[in-house]
Structure 1
Amino acid sequence: MSAKPENEQSQTNRYKFLLALSALGVVYGDIGTSPLYALKEAFHHGHNIGLSENNVYGILSLIFWSLIIVISIKYLRYVLKADNKGEGGILALTALVTPRSDKHLSKRRNLIRLGLFGTALLYGDGMITPSISVLSAVEGLELITPVFSPYIIPITCLILVGLFSVQKYGTELVGKIFGPLTLFWFLTLGALGIYNIIKVPMVLVSMNPWYAYQFFAINTWDGFFVLGSVFLVVTGGEALYSDLGHFGRQPIQRAWFFVVLPCLILNYFGQGALITHNPLAAKNPFFLMAPPWMLTPLVILATLSTVIASQALITGVFSITMQAVQLGYIPRVLIEHTSAKEFGQIYVKSMNRILMIACILLVIFFKTSSNLAAAYGIAVTTTMGVTTILFYLVARQKWRWSKFKAGTICGFFLIVDLSFWGANLVKVLDGGWVPLAVGVLIFVMMTTWKKGRKLLGQRIRDEVIPLSLFLDKIDREKPFRNPGIAIYMASGLKDTPYALIQSYEHYKSIHQRLIFLSVVTEEIPQVPQSRRVEVNDIGHGCYTVFIHYGYMERPNIPKELDQLMIGDILLNPNEATYFIGKEKLFATDKPGMALWREKLFAFQTANAQDATTFFQLPRKRVMEIGVQVEL
């Protein structure tokens, strides 16, 4: 009798192990490839930091405590607990703390803007991460032979094309392929670290925070600005939070504490031991820490690992894109679910293409990983600071922490965030403006889309009549009722859908049964099936249907309508006719938005995915009725 439960437990444990292994490949690739360039950039000639033993120990101490404080404590101990029904990321955090009541409308808007800006900056970071990771690994070919030097950029671009080409197969498959390879990568990092630490075991004293303090005391402002390079060791923290919905908290935590953290610490300390023993190795300590016979296979392994490293930000961008679409901040895009078990595993084709093009352009423009490192950090440090502020509100509002507890913990995290942010400010003129510009552009597009949709609704409402008056009208006029069911899609059901007004005005007839259907996106990741569909009989053969989705769910209208009881019949969604309004927009000088934003909104609307595809409607049963609207 006990064999079955034991077998089920074995399968559960195996699934948890595979999930943690997949998380290793997808979530920790970014942090896992930071050893390729982080310590090298800390001793970059622009920082004016000498290669003394005290400086090496000081920077190692900063790296060690950054990994402990930012990743181990802030994100894995606290922030990952602030999930919205299992989903993470800054938009999910924003939804958790946004007040619902109208009396807090001003506070609500400010929090949403703050969360949106942090989200927009993640897109900028998502473009740099694959570029710097892959380029830094391919640069290792130059250490094998200078013959490769002219081909570094073309090889990097080809690898990036290949990386983005496999995204369509889904996080689950990608994770299964990348997971074992990433595990081997981390074990290699640890082994290389041990190989060099044995030569200079005294390097382990860098765990003492005194060396970090001494480093600042000796180097003053030069030491402070080195934090901009030290920050490179924790840049994957925000992507880690965004990927929470792909794997869950426990697999991510297990992978970090059992594999990632110890291997990273060993490798950084091994690089420090090498520089202490041979200061000239500071030009590329990661590759030079390996014995000569291992250089070629290490470059190949590093290249493969940096391809994997890019996965964390790519999947994080997919997640926040889906959330933004469902919450109404960006136009509809095609979102494909790639796993039957893990709902958060998705693929967004249009965003995948944009990221690929952006990464290739960055590689061509910046040319070296050092140049890219100069542009890297300012966007993600800003996002991390926003996350800390929003987390404080979650701790106070949702978890009922006292002001002292929340203020002490979050205040400490904010001091760390602001220190990294201040050190990265000097990068703005050296290329840091690129992710900032991308973030500002996306923030403008998000807010324009949201406000534009609201303005469009107002303009259309000016041309329609309340639904109750239309029902009175057909009661008086008693028009001919065509056999069958007509479904009119509408964002709200107080007013008569414009498509119905237009069709009635032309044909002077309506269907025997009218369904006014509205899709409602709630600020939770998933809506229980028991609350999915709400049907109301409003008389005259008319019904309102509300279909509720969470912001991490892709609508499928026919699926929800199948076998739905409407009056005395069971609905067959493939036999009904769907009416959709198709707006053509014109920018005007009417009050509402600036003319340039109205033009931007009109462009976004014209290029948005059509409602038929987004709601997965049967194309042969859809009728689009055009309407021209002056904004």
Structure 2
Amino acid sequence: MSQVSLPPSQANSDTAPIAGADSSTLDISDYLREEAGTAADPAAPSPSPQGFWALALGAVGVVYGDIGTSPIYTFREALRPAMRDGDLSRAEVLGLLSLIFWALILIVTLKYVLFLLRVDNRGEGGILALYTMVRLALGRRSVPVLLLAIAGAALFIGDAAITPAISVMSAVEGIEIFMPGLAPWVVPVTLVILTLLFFAQSHGTARISAGFGPVTALWFLTLAGLGLWHIRAAPEVLAALDPVWAFEFLREHAGLSFVVLGAVFLAVTGAEALYADLGHFGRRPIVLAWFGLIFPALVLNYLGQGALVLRSPAAIDNPLFAMVPRPALPWFIALATAATVIAAQAVITGAFSMIRASVQLGLLPRMRILHTAPGNHGQIYVPAVNWALLALVCVIVIGFGSSERMAAAYGISVTGTMVITSLLAIFYILLSRRLPRLPALALAGSILSVEGVFLSSNLSKIGDGGFIPLMIAGALGLAMGAWWRGTQKLLFRAHQSSTDLTTFVKMMETSSVNRVPGTAFFLTADPAAAPATLMHNIKFNGVVHEQTIILTVEPLRVPTVPEAERVSWQPLGGPFSLLTIRFGFMETPRIVSALPRARAMGLKIDVMRTIFFVARRRPVIRPGGGPMRLLDRLHIFLHGFSLDPSEYFLLPRERVIELGERISL
């Protein structure tokens, strides 16, 4: 990916500010010189005890929905490779259980719950939030770090295409145990449930989400109860908590272990949601939910499945559903289906949030992003992503036909995302002073080595369908890279032909251009240059408005912007002034909503009597060849799907004037 030299005003930004052009994000003043990743404001009021417990219950449903459905298929898939050598021995069952238990300890508990939840970007988590922290701590652009972030975000979306499919199908397959004759209906029922789920997204999930916590809590309590019931019948299974059994299994089954570890990793899929949903619930509720309910329930259930298999090897086909007394099986299947739908919903919501952050950081074209719950910035709906995911999920369900075959393809994208998160965390530890360097590096390095083993094991699944999430992630990553590269080139070309804003204002002091009443906003991506729309308006219309405002929208590398920092206004002389509006990468850039703040600063404007001038830049290919021209063509293709500025910034369309401009890539 070739680099493009930017002018000094943009040299330290991955992308320039979004404003009437396809661009994003610029470092600004002392606000961004402050170290990223500072904890939430210590002066902020703590939630009430009732609010805290409500957050903890909400975290049970949203944060842990995905990892909570892992017991449906994890132990089953880990047992099957071991069965290839014949009957399972007691040592093999205990070894597999020990591997699952210590994977939960190392990956989920140590890495995510105890370590990464403390590495937040103003209260927000997730791989893109971590990237922005590394970028700001570094203080300059780093293409390798940017590529890591792109790969992590793309792999996350690749996982979002397969998680709903395997979660829901694994629950629906419980029907086969209760009524084997219904087996042909598993795929159609799964498709119906998933289709209804995706169609419901446009209506918002605020009301449904209110029941997520209680339903998922009941699911975990049921898992724990079933586990305790079967452990009582075979208490020797508790020996699996000793890591010696895990090491012995790996030593005695060196050839088989590589395959088994890929299945063991399924126990920790969904752990990335712990970090990604940090901003929605806060660290303490997530930690309390993990240690108070989720972790004990998961461990008890896995041990209970192991106890059942020790007593009844025939239960290996589906140990979780075999744990349930037959009269209670229909109820349990219904509960499992509800839990998997909740898990799928959490993944879909996470995909929406990831796409929004990618758009705000300039990694994807502007898309239509709708809010479905007033006052809750996390409740969003992205139509294009929703329908694309539905199509992919349906193809995966039909193509694989069973959760067993799907499990062979599951885990690669999740492991890749986790490895990239660990790499970015190590970079942040090295660059920042926020964490004790040596202990943090030792922990992160150890976990990275374990994840590297899991990644190597999962890569062996590529031939069994693992290439599908990788293809999805690869296509998205290529699109993100092409969009970022093309945006940088467009900004550079536009700056080359621009006029310095300060020089322009001085020239206009002695100009005879007519002034007309009213207020005009000229959106620009480069606040140091006179907007092309303003130059064209003067050239062709021969007028300047009595209040001409150069407007720049700056998406920052922080999740949300404090209202005190939202707007800055600077008179430039004569009718000209410079207005800057800032939004975080987890916010919707609604310009009109920020104008009251500008009025409070002394800018006299009447939104109902203003005109917004925006540029519609059309990239075209320069003559020439080479492999990079393919990236340019991909950028132009994606440009056709990008929302125009008036739609993206939610401007009143009846007061918008768009001026076209062709720029060569």
Q: TM-score range by the shorter chain?
A: over 0.9
CA distance in 1, matches of 2:318, 2:257: 20
2:525 is matched with which residue? 491
CA distance in 1, matches of 2:107, 2:137: 31
CA distance in 1, matches of 2:81, 2:562: 57
1:5 is matched with which residue? none
Cα shift readout 1:145-201 (whole Å, capped 9, x = no counterpart)? 233222211111111112223334545433312111111111111111122112111
CA distance in 2, matches of 1:435, 1:397: 32
Q: Does 1:83 align with 2:95?
A: no
Percent identical pairs in the alignment equals 39
Q: Does 1:589 align with 2:623?
A: yes
8 Å CA contact 1:331–1:605 kept in 2: the answer is yes
1:23 is matched with which residue? 59
8 Å CA contact 2:559–2:584 kept in 1: the answer is yes
1:32 is matched with which residue? 68
Shift of 1:393: 2.5
2:300 is matched with which residue? 266
1:55 is matched with which residue? 92
1:67-216 matches, cutoff 5 A: 67-99=104-136, 105=141, 108-170=142-204, 172-216=206-250
| Unaligned runs of at least 5 residues, structure 2 | 1-44
1:43–1:200 CA distance, 2 compared to 1 (3 A): same
8 Å CA contact 1:135–1:156 kept in 2: the answer is yes
1:442-591 matches, cutoff 5 A: 442-562=476-596, 564-565=598-599, 570-589=604-623
Shift of 1:439: 1.4
Q: Does 1:606 align with 2:606?
A: no
8 Å CA contact 2:137–2:428 kept in 1: the answer is no
Q: Which is further off, 200-209 or 596-605? A: 596-605
Choose the corresponding residue for 1:618, options 648, 652, 656: 652
**Counterpart residue type for residue 183 of structure 2:** S
CA distance in 2, matches of 1:613, 1:342: 21
CA distance in 2, matches of 1:550, 1:401: 24
**Counterpart residue type for residue 584 of structure 2:** G
8 Å CA contact 2:173–2:186 kept in 1: the answer is yes
The alignment partner of 2:279 has SS state of helix
Shift of 1:343: 4.1
Q: Does 1:629 align with 2:663?
A: yes
Shift of 1:454: 1.4
Q: Which is further off, 490-499 or 91-100? A: 91-100
2:77 is matched with which residue? 41
CA distance in 2, matches of 1:474, 1:517: 18
Instruction: Indicate the RMSD between aligned Cα atoms, in angstroms.
Output: 2.3
Q: Which is further off, 164-173 or 64-73? A: 164-173
8 Å CA contact 2:113–2:274 kept in 1: the answer is no
Q: Which is further off, 44-53 or 244-253? A: 44-53
Cα shift readout 1:223-265 (whole Å, capped 9, x = no counterpart)? 2320100000001111221121221111111111111111111
8 Å CA contact 2:412–2:470 kept in 1: the answer is yes
CA distance in 1, matches of 2:53, 2:238: 31
**Counterpart residue type for residue 613 of structure 2:** F
8 Å CA contact 1:488–1:499 kept in 2: the answer is yes
CA distance in 2, matches of 1:112, 1:316: 20
CA distance in 2, matches of 1:505, 1:139: 69
1:251–1:167 CA distance, 2 compared to 1 (3 A): farther
1:287–1:513 CA distance, 2 compared to 1 (3 A): same
8 Å CA contact 2:429–2:441 kept in 1: the answer is no
CA distance in 2, matches of 1:297, 1:565: 59
1:47–1:98 CA distance, 2 compared to 1 (3 A): farther
TM-score (norm 2): 0.89
CA distance in 1, matches of 2:407, 2:507: 67
CA distance in 1, matches of 2:621, 2:187: 43
8 Å CA contact 1:561–1:572 kept in 2: the answer is no
Cα shift readout 1:64-117 (whole Å, capped 9, x = no counterpart)? 111111111110000111110111111111111125677x54xx2211211221
Shift of 1:137: 0.9
Shift of 1:510: 2.0
2:101 is matched with which residue? 64
2:272 is matched with which residue? 238
Shift of 1:597: 1.6
8 Å CA contact 1:563–1:570 kept in 2: the answer is no
Shift of 1:348: 2.7
Shift of 1:461: 3.0
Shift of 1:279: 0.8
The alignment partner of 1:375 has SS state of coil
2:22 is matched with which residue? none
8 Å CA contact 2:119–2:125 kept in 1: the answer is yes
8 Å CA contact 1:245–1:344 kept in 2: the answer is no
**Counterpart residue type for residue 48 of structure 2:** T
The alignment partner of 2:612 has SS state of strand
1:6 is matched with which residue? none
**Counterpart residue type for residue 154 of structure 2:** A
CA distance in 2, matches of 1:140, 1:566: 61
The alignment partner of 2:362 has SS state of coil
Q: Which is further off, 277-286 or 584-593? A: 584-593
| Unaligned runs of at least 5 residues, structure 1 | 1-8
Shift of 1:424: 0.8
1:39–1:579 CA distance, 2 compared to 1 (3 A): same
CA distance in 2, matches of 1:83, 1:551: 14
Cα shift readout 1:255-300 (whole Å, capped 9, x = no counterpart)? 1111111111111111111111111110111111111112222112
8 Å CA contact 1:243–1:312 kept in 2: the answer is no
CA distance in 2, matches of 1:401, 1:180: 36
The alignment partner of 1:457 has SS state of helix
Cα shift readout 1:395-419 (whole Å, capped 9, x = no counterpart)? 3333455553233211211121011
Shift of 1:45: 4.7
**Counterpart residue type for residue 513 of structure 2:** P
CA distance in 2, matches of 1:97, 1:47: 45
Q: Which is further off, 491-500 or 129-138? A: 491-500
Q: Does 1:439 align with 2:462?
A: no
8 Å CA contact 2:148–2:420 kept in 1: the answer is yes
1:587–1:79 CA distance, 2 compared to 1 (3 A): same
Higher RCO (C-alpha 8 Å, min separation 6): 2
1:19–1:336 CA distance, 2 compared to 1 (3 A): farther
8 Å CA contact 2:171–2:340 kept in 1: the answer is yes
Cα shift readout 1:16-35 (whole Å, capped 9, x = no counterpart)? 11211111111111111111
Cα shift readout 1:454-483 (whole Å, capped 9, x = no counterpart)? 111222334433333433443343111121
Q: Does 1:411 align with 2:445?
A: yes
8 Å CA contact 1:455–1:592 kept in 2: the answer is no
Q: Which is further off, 149-158 or 86-95? A: 149-158
The alignment partner of 1:609 has SS state of coil
CA distance in 1, matches of 2:52, 2:201: 23
The alignment partner of 2:640 has SS state of helix
TM-score (norm 1): 0.93
Q: Which is further off, 293-302 or 84-93? A: 293-302
